[in-house]
């Protein structure tokens, strides 16, 4: 019992003794009223505490959620931040090692199968069924509704961050060098080359390509091109097609484009791309839909208001199409061994609420909408701008996603390795993808 409760109990005891000994009067009755009022004001989870595993780009959003949840419920949320490419590994280790430290997990959606296979996430089928109306499931954007949450017909998570890539361009640089927005990847190459050849001496490059050797980063950049040429990781029968003509064309183009990108593409990840973009050194960048809010923040950006956005360029060939790659993308689940399961479920309820989704999308916190209602919310439209809202809506008609199978994390390693080797010139695109295909066949036992 804490000090406050001890003092409180003593006061109540003396009050009761006094009331029992004194003559019955209105004063004696009134003395008890403050006790009832203070008890009714207690928050439902007062004194409880949970731990939330999240990623570095979500630090601000996660800390906001923790603060808002504590203000509403009294439950303290400790936010544990890890690099975005380590979160699934961290969550699996927490459960398989028997530590059981985390209550709630913010995870990259391609890791869903791995998390479920390792028993990391609590099954949420009953929760979804019991809260269908409150959760307003029809409001969830279809792109994320099942892909981020469902394995073998069961639910294990709730969509949190609706990531997808669009192509942004610096309007000032484009005007300076007489360029127009590229509709195709061939035009993109020509634009990159023209700007870099004219501006590199002044530190201006045609594009920033995220090519760092991290699956989330490098495969994402490749998929932007691979999908646009009409390629897919697997055919309709589940056989790998990672060395298809579309894949080779996409990687060949990416390697050539990298010659005119912000140096050095093979070392450029999230932070480096943002640095080049915010300082006006990169004329184009493929990035997530929260970029406008960050770009128009004068505390971090020197190009406020000097940007435009469009869909990713289209490839060439018979299968070419416009795509919006769901690169990154995060969901939230409750650990199967959460030390505080009831409070953890209440936190999940809180995150899933439509009003909270609208609220955490109107701060610069690395989060993109997962609900249609957020895209219609006046506060979000004012925050993000009508141009990006329209671009997001259009992009969902062309969304392509990563695999969420339990084998994906094993498959992505040779793909990442070989994409990197092609980017630095140690393998040709054809060699890199042939070697990946061979590795995938072996992993899949085909």
Instruction: Tell me which of 84-88, 220-224, 236-240 is least confident.
Output: 84-88
**Cα–Cα distance for residue pair 238/234, rounded to 1 Å:** 5
> Tens of pLDDT along 117-150?
999 999 999 999 999 999 999 999 999 999 999 9
Q: What's the token pair of residue 94?
A: 């927490």
**pLDDT tens digits for range 194-205:** 999 999 999 999
Fold of 166-325+407-444: D-Maltodextrin-Binding Protein; domain 2 (3.40.190)
Can you give the pLDDT at residue 222? 98
Alpha-helical segments (H) within 259-297 = 270-278, 291-295
User: Contact 341/103 with Cβ under 8 angstroms?
Assistant: yes
Q: 3-state class of 30 per DSSP?
A: helix
Look at residue 38 in the predicted model and tell me its pLDDT. 44
Average confidence (pLDDT) over 343-358: 97
Whether the per-residue pLDDT at 19 is higher than 50: the answer is no
Q: Output the pLDDT for position 42.
A: 83
Q: Is the dihedral of CA 374, 378, 384, 386 positive or negative?
A: positive
Interacting residues of 29 by C-beta distance below 8 A, sequence separation 6+: none
Distances (CA, A) of 431 to 40, 165, 261, 315: 70, 27, 23, 21
Q: What percent of the chain has pLDDT over 90?
A: 88
Q: Give me the percent of the chain exceeding a pLDDT of 70.
A: 91
**pLDDT-based confidence at 17, cuts 50/70/90?**
very low
Residue 6 has pLDDT above 50, yes or no: no
| Rounded mean pLDDT, 54-64 | 94
Class of 49-163+327-400 in CATH: alpha beta
Lowest mean per-residue pLDDT among 2-16, 133-147, 189-203, 207-221:
2-16
What is the pTM assigned to this prediction? 0.87
The strand pair at 76-82 and 49-55 is best described as parallel
Task: Tell me which of 191-200, 252-261, 357-366, 425-434 is least confident.
Answer: 357-366
Distance (Å, whole) CA 175 – CA 261 = 19
Query: What is the DSSP-derived secondary structure letter of residue 109?
Result: G
Strand, helix or coil for residue 127:
helix
Which helix (H) or strand (E) element contains residue 51? Answer: strand 49-55
Domain parsing of the chain, residue ranges: 49-163+327-400, 166-325+407-444
The answer to whether 49-163+327-400 and 166-325+407-444 have equal CATH topology is: yes
Strands 307-310 and 166-170: antiparallel
> 237 φ, ψ to 5°?
-95, 5
The answer to whether 122 and 331 have CB atoms below 8 angstroms apart is no
Those residues whose C-beta lies under 8 Å from the C-beta of residue 311, and which sit 6 or more positions away, are 166, 167, 322, 323, 324, 391, 394, 395, 398
Question: 41 falls in which pLDDT band (50, 70, 90)?
Answer: low
- 361-363-365-371 Cα dihedral, nearest 10 degrees: 0
CA dist., res. 330 & res. 56, Å (int): 12
Residue 200 neighbours by CB under 8 Å, 6+ apart:
none
- pLDDT tens-digit readout, 150-165: 999 999 999 999 999 9
Q: Is 235 exposed, middle or buried (0-12, 13-18, 19+ CB in 10 A)?
A: exposed
Q: How does residue 264 score in pLDDT terms, banded at 50, 70 and 90?
A: very high
* Cβ contacts of 176 within 8 Å, gap of 6 or more: none
Mean of the per-residue pLDDT values for the chain?
91
pLDDT for residue 363: 87
Distance, in Å, from the CA atom of 168 to the CA atom of 80, rounded to the nearest integer, reads 32
């Amino acid at each position: 019992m804490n000090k406050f409760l001890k003092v409180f109990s003593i006061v109540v005891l003396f009050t009761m003794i006094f009331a029992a000994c004194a003559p019955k009067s209105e004063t004696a009755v009134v003395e008890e009223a403050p006790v009832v009022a203070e008890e009714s004001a207690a928050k439902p989870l007062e004194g409880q505490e949970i731990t939330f595993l999240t990623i570095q780009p979500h630090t601000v959003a996660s800390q906001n959620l923790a603060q808002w949840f504590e203000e509403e419920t009294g439950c303290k949320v400790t936010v544990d931040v890890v690099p975005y490419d380590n979160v699934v590994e961290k969550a699996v280790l927490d459960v398989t090692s028997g530590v059981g430290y985390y209550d709630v997990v913010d995870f990259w959606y391609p890791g869903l199968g791995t998390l479920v296979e390792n028993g990391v996430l609590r099954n949420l089928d009953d929760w979804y069924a019991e809260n269908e109306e409150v959760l307003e499931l029809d409001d969830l954007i279809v792109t994320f509704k099942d892909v981020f949450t469902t394995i073998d017909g069961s639910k294990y998570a709730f969509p949190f961050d609706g990531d997808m890539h669009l192509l942004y361009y610096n309007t000032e640089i484009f005007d300076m060098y007489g360029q127009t927005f590229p509709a195709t990847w061939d035009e993109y190459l020509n634009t990159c080359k023209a700007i870099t050849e004219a501006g590199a001496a002044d530190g201006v490059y045609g594009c920033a390509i995220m090519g760092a050797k991290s699956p989330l980063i490098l495969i994402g950049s490749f998929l932007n091109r691979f999908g646009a040429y009409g390629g897919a990781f697997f055919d309709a029968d589940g056989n790998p097609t990672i060395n298809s003509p579309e894949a080779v064309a996409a990687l060949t183009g990416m390697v050539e484009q990298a010659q005119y990108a912000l140096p050095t593409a093979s070392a450029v990840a999230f932070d480096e791309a943002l640095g080049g973009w915010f300082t006006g050194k990169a004329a184009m960048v493929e990035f997530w839909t929260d970029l406008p809010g960050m770009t128009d923040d004068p505390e971090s950006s020197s190009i406020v208001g000097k940007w435009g956005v469009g869909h990713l360029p289209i490839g060439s060939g018979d299968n070419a199409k416009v795509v919006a790659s769901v690169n990154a993308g995060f969901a939230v689940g409750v650990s199967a061994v959460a030390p505080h399961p009831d409070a953890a479920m209440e936190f999940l309820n809180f995150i899933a609420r439509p009003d909270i989704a609208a609220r955490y999308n109107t701060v610069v916190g690395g989060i993109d909408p997962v609900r249609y209602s957020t895209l219609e919310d006046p506060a979000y439209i004012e925050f993000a701008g009508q141009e990006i809202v329209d671009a997001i809506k259009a992009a969902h008609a062309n969304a392509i996603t990563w695999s969420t199978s339990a084998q994906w994390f094993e498959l992505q390693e040779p793909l990442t390795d070989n994409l990197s080797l092609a980017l630095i010139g140690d393998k040709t695109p054809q060699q890199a993808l042939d070697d990946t295909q061979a590795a995938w066949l072996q992993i899949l036992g085909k």
